[in-house]
Amino acid sequence: MPGASAQPATLLPDVPPDKRPRHIAVIMDGNGRWAQQRGLPRIEGHRRGVASVRRATEECTRLGIGQLTLYCLSSENWKRPQRELDFLMHLLEQYMIEERALLLREQVRVSLIGRREGIPDSVLEEVDRTAELTQGNTGLRLCLAVNYGARAEIVDAAREIAHDVQRGVLRLEEVDEEQFAARLYTAGMSDPDLLIRTAGEMRISNYLLWQISYAEIWVTPKCWPDFDEATLHDAIRDFAGRDRRFGGLSPC
């Protein structure tokens, strides 16, 4: 991650640090489409997408962004061909191994959210190792959503709340938004300020439904393999120019 030591304010001088999102979430769409448009197999699009993950992580580190959450594999994606799924798991495992030293050096902290069932043990082992080794890092938090679905997350949180009430650990009248959020996969993380979706799709796709209640949404027609630093800057500039009222009124 060259250049991570540069002062964040000098890298995007027209957007002051206090106008930048603290947490960016991304729906990385269009890998297969990108490959098919070029007469390549879909898995080649996923391979090229890893380079975009690296670019986005590096640039968020340089810009002083607090957290980057990437939608790597949804719970619905298991319907895809097994060969493609196997390749995606291989890419994730390979990324955890090959990027580990760099993530440690650049103080990136890795987290995984989603249900662990169905993810190969070898992949979980490498992800868990990287997460453990980087848990003390103080820079960008890189959160990977794998086998993730927001509805499943909400169901899991509701089930945990019900279980705690049943055991007497929590009283029914104590159940509020704070208690619920503490039982989501993202407990302890800030909510995203900016949600980016690539490939021009105008939908949320069961991603962080609770957490993006007040996130600004920005869509680019670029497919994920073409997502670069300049595109990220465009998204941040657009975010900085928006009036975030959180249900209130802007001061006249």
Q: Answer whether 0.85 is exceeded by the pTM.
A: yes
Q: Is the pLDDT of residue 249 over 90?
A: no
pLDDT value, residue 174: 97
Tens digits of residue pLDDT in 83-141:
999 999 999 999 999 999 999 999 999 999 999 999 999 999 999 999 999 999 999 99
CA 122 – CA 198 distance, rounded (Å): 30
Domains of the chain (ranges; CATH) run 18-149+191-240 (3.40.1180.10)
**Of the residues 18, 31, 77, 156, which is catalytic?**
77
Tens digits of residue pLDDT in 49-69:
999 999 999 999 999 999 999
Tens digits of residue pLDDT in 165-224:
999 999 999 999 999 999 999 999 999 999 999 999 999 999 999 999 999 999 999 999
CA 180 – CA 172 distance, rounded (Å): 12
pLDDT value, residue 42: 94
Active site annotation includes 31 = no
Q: Which residue stretches of the chain are H helix? A: 8-11, 31-37, 42-63, 82-98, 100-105, 121-134, 150-167, 177-181, 229-240
Active site annotation includes 156 = no
CA 161 – CA 181 distance, rounded (Å): 10
Q: Using alpha carbons, select from 143, 84, 78 the residue that is nearest to residue 117.
A: 78
**Of the residues 14, 29, 191, 206, which is catalytic?**
29
Judge whether 142 and 55 are in contact, CB under 8 Å: no
